Chains A and B, each alone.
Chain A
């Protein structure tokens, strides 16, 4: 308790030097929490959006379907096993057919993925009910806003749609955009054209076939065994987690540099402090302070920079981070055109574990950094110190 009081007095007495170090350290501390919170938020939201709009709580894939092998796509459909009928009829599972096709905007060809979905489904949070709109004999289709922008389409526009049916014969029809949906999930938007599943099955002559079955995210009952492969949400979001981990690792370099700069300032202050305060150390020893207490005092003085940094960061950074967590960070529309799931507004996730973990890391590293130059005091002779010498 005494050395805590003394360390505080010494730090306070050091004035601007202390507060500069504390400020730099608090910036590093805040940056770590901010960046980590951003990546955590990105991961959480990306997974939630994917779960909500595309993946559900998991998917059944037909035997041939392999999203990482485009050559498998022409054959990636088969009859939906009867075992799934009860769940489909109960509305907790919905079939999706993925089928290759082409669209001709402005007299040019653009390959697209036709996504056949049940307009009545409620498993995926996308406005498939719009596909029931009458479209004057045209095939009703729906686009995401990114796709619409890329082909310069708006609702009501008509395009020629071409595909090869299940027998390999080319076929084409005029399709009308009945709705442009706004979605945060770029992976179900870019290059995708949504059509009524029943109509798609009809025009491709693939009756009652589908590529996958999406399970409702709220469904927690038994899932039947089938020849179709079940993919859990965890497996389906592996790429999102890997991407965020990769970005997070990149971010680590930045806050590692920031932290190193702040620690360097603390280390430098400690070295300078020991050099300048040799006579003071001798006086402290003459007054009855042991070398161990002296080491503790100087280490604590350095370590308290970390503590003050946490307090300062809480004072000015706390409201900033809170505001950031409430308001979020707007992501420019074009940012998510790379095909990764990014929300339009990114809400950082500052978990209790993240904050406490970062505080502990900062305090430990600052204390270790403070201790390193102080170790030499273990050999300090009081008579040398009083003369301003270092043993």
Chain B
């Protein structure tokens, strides 16, 4: 039984126009995810994992049905409100890391705090804490191009967690990493989940990732076909 609902979807449908017809990416998705959960959305390519992650992350809006994240109805948020929600409460981790290339590691991690309007001293402390937590203190002045894949993804995690969000959405976070780095990254996120009670929602079809999940929601052709808690 979920004590505090962080994410709630009700009959969520998302369609895209493709050529002269509508492609159904998500079909009547009903899920509830609570605070502190470590959830994996699994399924083959095109099953709707990333679409669901985008809608939950307020990067997209549902075609019909409703999605509530942290008591905010995603469908009714203005662009500015959606940006505020992401800024305040949601962290993103991408498959391709999406680090800002001209910024140093420190500046990349600092970025969300700049948008939050944190003071110079606060930013410095929070960034150094995050880098320390992820073992990146010695890489602070490096540029993304100077980092390995595993290091880059750890920077992306630091950037996602630095503001201590309620929810972190990770889209195929280990797809570009080797097995050793994948396990390292997942252990880091598991620790983060345990220490900070941050809710994680992964989109993945990687077996290595699945073994770390405490709950797995399986999607097929946009529909939830299985929802199991380990």
Measuring CB to CB, which residues of chain A are less than 8 angstroms from any residue of chain B?
2, 5-6, 9-10, 12-14, 279-280, 282-292, 381-383, 386
Contacts and interface: CB of A to CB of B under 8 A. Distances in A.
Nearest to A288: B87
Determine which residue in A6, A12, A14, A287 has the highest number of CB atoms from chain B within 10 A of its CB, and name it: A287
B193 interface: no
Nearest to B156: A283
Interface stretch (B39-47, B99-107, B180-188, B206-214): B99-107
Contacts of B80: 290, 292
Contacts of A290: 79-80, 83
B88 interface: yes
Contacts of B86: 285-288
B115 A12 contact: no
17 contacts: A2-B114, A10-B102, A279-B98, A280-B101, A284-B100, A286-B57, A286-B59, A287-B86, A287-B87, A287-B112, A287-B159, A288-B115, A289-B87, A290-B83, A291-B79, A382-B54, A386-B59
* Pairs A-B, 8 closest by C-beta atoms: A13-B102, A288-B87, A283-B98, A290-B83, A382-B59, A288-B86, A286-B92, A288-B115
Determine which residue in A5, A284, A290, A291 has the highest number of CB atoms from chain B within 10 A of its CB, and name it: A290
Task: Tell me what chain B mostly uses at the interface: helix, strand, loop, or mixed.
Answer: helix
Contacts of B117: 2
A9 B83 contact: no
A201 B59 CA distance: 96
Given A13-B103, A283-B98, A386-B59, 9 more contacts: A10-B102, A280-B100, A285-B83, A286-B86, A286-B98, A287-B86, A291-B83, A381-B60, A386-B94
Contacts of B115: 2, 287-289
Interface in B38-86: 54, 57, 59-60, 79-80, 83-84, 86
B92 A287 contact: yes
A284 B102 CA distance: 13
B60 A383 contact: yes
A288 B83 contact: yes
Nearest to B171: A386
Given A382-B59, A383-B59, A287 B102 contact: no
Contacts, number: 68
Nearest to B53: A383
B130 to A, nearest CB: 14
Nearest to B89: A288
Interface string B175-195: 000000000000000000000
B187 to A, nearest CB: 24
A55 B167 CA distance: 83
A229 B94 CA distance: 86
B84 A288 contact: yes
A9 B98 contact: no
B59 A287 contact: no
Determine which residue in A284, A381, A386 has the highest number of CB atoms from chain B within 10 A of its CB, and name it: A386
B151 to A, nearest CB: 18
B88 A288 contact: yes
B67 to A, nearest CB: 14
A286 B159 CA distance: 12
A291 B80 CA distance: 8
Nearest to A13: B102
A287 B111 contact: yes
A289 B84 CA distance: 8
Interface in B82-135: 83-84, 86-88, 92, 94, 96, 98, 100-103, 107, 111-112, 114-117
A5 B114 contact: yes
Nearest to B58: A382
A385 to B, nearest CB: 9
Contact of B59 (A9, A13, A285): A285
A12 B88 CA distance: 28
Contacts of B111: 287
A196 B141 CA distance: 85
Contact of A9 (B60, B87, B103): B103
Nearest to B99: A283
A5 to B, nearest CB: 7
A115 B100 CA distance: 78
Contact of A12 (B94, B100, B102, B112): B102
A6 B114 contact: yes
B90 to A, nearest CB: 8
B229 to A, nearest CB: 28
A9 B107 contact: yes
B116 to A, nearest CB: 8
A288 B112 contact: yes
Contacts of A287: 86-87, 92, 111-112, 115, 159
Contacts of A13: 101-103
Contacts of A383: 54, 59-60
B83 A289 contact: yes
Contacts of A6: 114
Determine which residue in B57, B84, B111 has the highest number of CB atoms from chain A within 10 A of its CB, and name it: B111
Contacts of A386: 59, 94, 98
Nearest to A283: B98
B100 A283 contact: yes
A283 B94 contact: yes
A14 B101 CA distance: 10
B171 to A, nearest CB: 9
A290 B96 CA distance: 22
Nearest to B83: A290
B16 to A, nearest CB: 10
